[in-house]
Amino acid sequence: MTETPTTHPSSPAGASPAPGADVPARRFAVPGRIAVSEQAAAVWQTATLTEIRRETPQTATFRLAVPDWAGHLPGQHLMLRLTAPDGYVAQRHYSIASAPDDSGHIELTLDHVPDGEVSGWFHTVARPGDTVELRGPLSGFFAWPGDRPALLLGAGSGIVPLMSMVRHHRRRGLTVPLRMLASARSPEELIYASELGAETTPLFTRSAPHGVPVGRMAAAHVAPLLAQQPPGGWEAYVCGSNGFAEHASRLLVAAGQPVDRIRIERFG
């Protein structure tokens, strides 16, 4: 697949309306960031689990060998399926946590959802050597090719695709500005805590170390970042539960971020 960002103009949809027609304002029309490989999306591949690393009490990272992986961009996700002996299949979407590289491996980080069919299997049954099937990478909309200044807002497992961007930024030594606000219930539940650097401001909603405030993401966290706009402005990426995505995207809009520069990935 290509790493060249496509420059689809955010063209208004369809044929031009009749003269004098009341055309509603089209403010979103955010173009995809990259061309998506149809072939990679259509083919189910076998992936072999090679390593499991605990991240937090509720999350772990699963490293998979995918020999024919077509490559991905930070922010993309894949579809994964598990098959029971009677042919029953469960399939779910997962963001790719690892940065693009040529190791033939990718990493996923999964939250252990109570009674979760797929995340439950990963957290209680899976061990290195097991195989699963996946297809992807999917969707160019949330991808970040590393070109524009990136402002990343994530909560819980919503920081998974954002971490791929942070890792990509570091690995390539990119100089384009990148900042992340990462919300977690407590320091113990902050995924990738030991890997986060000066680019990240962690926020804690339930408990925090002595002297660190506890609370939801607020205008006071977002406004200073928007006050220092990098040249060309921020491309904002928001990821997490729907409740978080609604809250964080409204904060961005209130602080002056244009809606057509906000990309949202909701985990449902």
Partner 1 sequence: MNVTRGFTGRPRVHNPGLPPGQYDAGADWPVLSAEVTPDLAPADWSFRIDGLVERPHTWDWDAAHALPASAYDGGIHCVTGWSKFGVRFGGVSLDAFFAVVRPQVSATHVLARSHTGYTANLPLADLTGGRAWIVWEYDGTPLPSEHGGPARLLVPHRYFWKSAKWIAGLTLLDHDEPGFWERNGYHERGNPWEEQRYSGD
Interaction pattern, residues 190-229, with partner 1; x per rule: CB under 8 A: ----------------------------------------
Count of residues of this chain found to bind partner 1 when the rule CB under 8 A is applied:
67
Task: Give the integer Cα–Cα distance in Å for 69 and 151.
Answer: 28
The pattern of x and - marking residues 44 through 63 that bind partner 1 according to CB under 8 A reads: --x-----------------
Q: Which stretch binds partner 1 (CB under 8 A): 126-134, 152-160, 187-195, 208-216?
A: 126-134
* Alpha-carbon span 236 to 226, nearest angstrom: 10
Residues 162-191 contacting ligand FAD, CB under 6 A: none
CA 225 from chain centre, in angstroms, equals 20
Q: For partner 1, which residue of 212, 220, 223, 259 counts as binding (CB under 8 A)?
A: 259
Q: Does 179 bind partner 1 (CB under 8 A)?
A: no
Residue 119 touches which of partner 1, ligand FAD, none (Cβ within 5-8 Å per kind): ligand FAD
Specify whether the CB–CB gap between 12 and 26 falls below 8 A. yes
- Which H helix or E strand runs over 135? strand 131-138
Q: What is the DSSP string of 195-228?
A: G--TTEEEEESS--STTS-B----HHHHHHHHHS
Nearer to partner 1, 100 or 240 (CB): 240
Task: Tell me how far apart the alpha carbons of residues 131 and 188 are, in angstroms, rounded to a whole number.
Answer: 30
User: Given CA atoms 121, 116, 266, 60 in this order, what sign does their dihedral have?
Assistant: negative
> CB under 5 to 8 A by kind: which of ligand FAD, partner 1, none does 251 bind?
none
Q: What is the DSSP string of 111-123?
A: E--TT-HHHHHHH
Which range of residues in 86-94, 103-111, 185-193, 223-231 is near partner 1 by CB under 8 A? 86-94
Kindly state the helix (H) or strand (E) to which residue 42 belongs, with its residue range: helix 38-42
What distance in Å separates the CA atoms of residue 136 and residue 195, rounded to the nearest whole number?
26
CA distance 123 to 192: 17
Q: Which of 56, 58, 76, 119 binds ligand FAD (CB under 6 A)?
A: 119
Question: Scanning the structure block, which residue is given the tokens 């804690």?
Answer: 204
Smallest separation, CB 194 to partner 1 (Å)? 31
Binding residues (CB under 8 A) for partner 1: these are: 8, 10, 12-15, 17-18, 21-22, 24-32, 36, 38-39, 41-42, 46, 79, 82-93, 117, 121, 125-126, 130-133, 135, 138-142, 242, 245-246, 249-250, 252-253, 259-260, 262-266, 268
